[in-house]
Amino acid sequence: MPTQQSTLEGNVGEIFSSIQGEGPLIGRRQIFVRIAGCSLSCSYCDTLGFGKRVGTCRIEHPPASGCFAIIPNPISVKAVKEQIDRLRSPGLHSVSITGGEPLCQHEFVGALADECRSSGMRVYLETNGYSASRFEEIVDVIDFSAIDLKLPSHRACSDSEWPDLIENELACTRISSEKGVYTIVKIVILSGTQASEVEEVCLRLRDIDAFIVLQPASGVQEPKSIDLIHFHEEASRYLGPDKVAVIPQAHKLMGVM
């Protein structure tokens, strides 16, 4: 992907320093850039305040202080990169671009990722993968991708839209893997998730090099522990035990953002 101009602007909800609380990179120090606005409406969403574009962005400083300044949107790539540089600290693993949904502003995200990598920082993209074409445009400036596959029980979109959504998500996973990006597939498990849903997506993932995370929801939609074990067994049957893990959201346990 060619380098984009640093004047390109995007709508950002917050920029802060914390610890990755999900997936196989759990415990790594990251700077988080949360893109505002999302293409879906998942029943378990824990960032509802950023489902739409927002008028202002809050920026943490100093790192991990919990103290925030407020600036207006939109924000240029250059300005976001300056804030990332201010938050950079020893032990930084990567910059996490999350949401909302980053692919809703993929040109801005691609330009920001390119800027980060140009100054020696790796980029971790968390996405719902709703657009394989947009993902393919920016995959060359991504080091880690965490693609959140949506099951029918997630109610992320209408039943008629779900087949197209899952095809795009699987295509993103394949593109990521074939480009040599460290590829993570997250599947949120709810109390109402059916084994057949997990089986269907695992069948489609068999020939893709990706690490599969079964992430139990919390709160009223938290699944039973015995169901998590059964889902792990089902996924491992198709993908192998080395490629599947049950990992909860540890940042909530740690009390960090």
Quick one: pLDDT at residue 203?
Answer: 96
The answer for residues whose C-beta is within 8 angstroms of residue 252's C-beta and 6 or more apart is 21, 218
Q: For residues 8 and 3, what is the distance between their CA atoms, to the nearest angstrom? A: 11
Domain membership flag for residue 16: yes
Per-residue pLDDT band at 5 (split at 50, 70, 90): confident
Q: At what angle do helices 106-118 and 77-87 cross, to 10 degrees?
A: 50
Secondary structure (DSSP) of 107-167: HHHHHHHHHHHHTT--EEEEE----HHHHHHHGGG-SEEEEEEPPGGG-SS-TTTHHHHHH
Domain membership flag for residue 180: yes
CB 32 within 8 A of CB 18: yes
Q: What is the pLDDT of residues 45-103, one digit of tens each?
A: 989 999 999 999 999 989 888 899 999 999 999 999 999 999 999 999 999 999 999 99
Per-residue pLDDT band at 1 (split at 50, 70, 90): very low
pLDDT for 12 beyond 50: yes
User: Side chain identity at 117, as an amino acid letter?
Assistant: R
Domain membership flag for residue 43: yes
CB 211 within 8 A of CB 24: yes
Per-residue pLDDT band at 257 (split at 50, 70, 90): low
Domain membership flag for residue 220: yes
Q: For residues 56 and 142, what is the distance between their CA atoms, to the nearest angstrom? A: 26
Domain containing 30 equals 9-251
Quick one: pLDDT at residue 3?
Answer: 45
pLDDT for 27 beyond 60: yes
Q: For residues 184 and 190, what is the distance between their CA atoms, to the nearest angstrom? A: 19
Percent composition of the chain: helix, strand, coil (DSSP 3-state, to 5): 40, 25, 35
Domain membership flag for residue 4: no
Task: Look at the chain and report how many structural domains it folds into.
Answer: 1
Per-residue pLDDT band at 2 (split at 50, 70, 90): very low
Quick one: pLDDT at residue 255?
Answer: 65
CB 215 within 8 A of CB 249: yes
DSSP state of 105: G
List beta partners, residue 18: 30
| SS3 (DSSP) at 174 | helix
CB 228 within 8 A of CB 5: no
- Measure Cα distances from 193 to 116, 164, 228 in Å: 38, 20, 10
Q: What is the pLDDT of residues 202-232, one digit of tens each?
A: 999 999 999 999 999 988 999 999 999 999 9
Quick one: pLDDT at residue 252?
Answer: 74
Q: For residues 171 and 108, what is the distance between their CA atoms, to the nearest angstrom? A: 22
Q: What's the CATH number where 209 sits? A: 3.20.20.70
Domain membership flag for residue 3: no
Domain membership flag for residue 256: no
